[in-house]
Amino acid sequence: MAQIFMGLSQTGSWGCFDEFNRISIEVLSVVSSQVKYVLDALKEQKINPNKNMFMFGEEEIALKGTVGFFITMNPGYAGRTELPENLKALFRSCAMVVPDIVLICENMLMSEGFNTAKDLSKKFMTLYDLSKSLLSKQTHYDWGLRAVKSVLRQAGKLKRAEPDVIEDKILMRALRDFNWPKIIVDDRSIFLGLINDLFPGIEAEPQTDMVFFKDVSDNTKKAGLQAEDLFVTKCVNFAEILEVRHSCFIIGNPGCGKTAVW
């Protein structure tokens, strides 16, 4: 930490220390004296603009007045510590609030070309809120903002591909098809029930890239494996997810075909 502070002071750079309160309390109490060296030197420089050197502990180093320290914290999490008072006094606090995901969802739908974005955003977040509370707790389930953005991008892609199809149908298909591969078997009936309740009377066959489906089938046979429909569908699902995700995990019991799908 001392090396970082010294480097920032001599270059006049800004440093943002993310998740600062993950550092143990013993280290933080030492860090507070290091930050204070720099802040005291900046105060002296304001009084005497020609003072460009200062003592950082036992070492004299240069000081550029543009130097700045910023920290971010997530209080109340496991493994986080409360900042000691002498360190807290050296930083200006700023409170954050939970984002309004419905509003973010509405804006993103509008930017993707949806005209009924206000109503659709409410349906979207109702589905995710209910899924979070009614489906089982799985480590790979994600009903937060990051997951919302991925599905909205997928919905926008479907909208541009079929601009004349009703918007409820497009969003329903995006929500169902994009989330389906990650929903475990025990939760699927509940998830489909939620979709049908939120989009009553709307039916849409899952869209599959049949050219790719045939390519996977052919290559499966060439590899000496059985081109069973469920297996080929899993390969297609995986390819579709990689279009909207930078990375993902393939999970399941040993022998269920994870390596073959990959």
The amino acid sitting at 250 is I
The Cα 178–Cα 127 span in angstroms is 13
Is the dihedral angle over the CA atoms 163, 165, 167, 172 positive or is it negative? negative
pLDDT of amino acid 106: 93
The Cα 105–Cα 90 span in angstroms is 37
- Eight-class DSSP state of 56: E
The Cα 103–Cα 121 span in angstroms is 8
Annotate 89-106 with b (16+ C-beta within 10 A) or e (fewer).
eebeeeeeeeeebbebbb
Burial class from Cβ neighbours inside 10 Å (0-12, 13-18, 19+) for residue 26 reads exposed
- Cβ count near 6 (within 10 Å): 18
Question: In the chain, what are the domains?
Answer: 2-88 (3.40.50.300), 108-198 (1.10.8.710), 210-261 (no CATH)
User: How far is Cα of residue 250 from the mean position of the Cα atoms in its chain?
Assistant: 18
User: How far is Cα of residue 48 from the mean position of the Cα atoms in its chain?
Assistant: 46
Asked whether the whole model's pTM tops 0.85, one would answer: no
Beta-strand pair 59-62/53-56: antiparallel
- Cβ count near 187 (within 10 Å): 16
Nearest residue to 12 (alpha-carbon basis) of 62, 58, 49, 64: 64
Are 58 and 2 in contact by the 8 Å Cβ rule? The answer is: no
- Cβ count near 118 (within 10 Å): 14
User: How far is Cα of residue 251 from the mean position of the Cα atoms in its chain?
Assistant: 20
Is the dihedral angle over the CA atoms 8, 13, 19, 20 positive or is it negative? positive
For each of the chain's 262 residues, which pLDDT tens digit applies? 899 999 999 999 999 998 888 888 888 888 888 999 999 999 999 999 888 999 998 899 999 999 999 998 877 666 677 788 888 888 888 888 888 889 999 999 999 989 999 999 999 999 999 998 898 888 888 888 888 888 888 888 888 888 888 888 888 888 888 888 788 889 999 998 999 898 888 777 766 678 888 999 999 999 999 888 889 988 988 887 787 677 788 888 898 889 999 9
Long-range contacts of 225-230, Cβ-Cβ distance < 8 Å, separation of 24 or more:
225/260
Structure tokens at 42: 């900046």
Residues with Cβ within 8 Å of 190's Cβ and at least 6 positions away in sequence, in order, are 134, 135
